[in-house]
Amino acid sequence: MEAGIDWPKISIVEGDICDREVDAVVNAANNQLWMGVGVAGAIKRRGGQEIEREAVAQGPIEIGASVATKAGALRAGHVIHAAVMGSDLTTDAEKIGRATLSALRLAADMGLASVALPALGTGVGGFPLEECARIMRGALTQHVSEGTTLRTVEFVLFGRDAYAAFAQVFEINRG
């Protein structure tokens, strides 16, 4: 990371984003904001249908944009729905970068201190893990350089391969 910038604590965690006790978890959303499978489906199953109802009422949104909802039964306070793909469920580097940055900016605009993000676009969207990690790190660097309220940023990865890709890109050793 860059010297001279007040960086939040960054963690790379292997696990289920639905278990994180943070101010907000980020959902890898489509721009219609319906929650079917992947991270979105897990959040809806664990947090409740009201999350999807509240999200859909705010859509559709532009790909790359984000909206926030309550978190239902999740341990987090909010869900930030980052539209990383359209209804065709495909994504690319530019969409992942914009969605990551908009989610981080929305969290800061809400005055939140902690956020957990999944590997956006790598599940249903099929985007390569290591490239996703590089894009998300770049978006985080840009966001932090603009100033942020965030004190803790967690990248919560489902599976060993996802964890390894992010740990390598962020140069974090598993301890």
pLDDT tens column, 74-119:
999 999 999 999 989 899 999 999 999 999 999 999 999 999 999 9
Backbone angles phi, psi at 82, to 5 degrees: -100, 115
Q: What is the pLDDT of residues 137-148, one digit of tens each?
A: 999 999 999 999
> Would the CA dihedral through 54, 144, 38, 23 be positive or negative?
negative
What is the CATH number for 135?
Answer: 3.40.220.10
Q: Is 175 inside any structural domain? A: no
Q: How many domains does the chain have?
A: 1
Residue with tokens 């959040």: 43
pLDDT of residue 98: 98
pLDDT tens per residue, range 122-132? 998 899 999 99
Structural domain harbouring 47: 9-169
Q: Does residue 174 lie in a domain region?
A: no
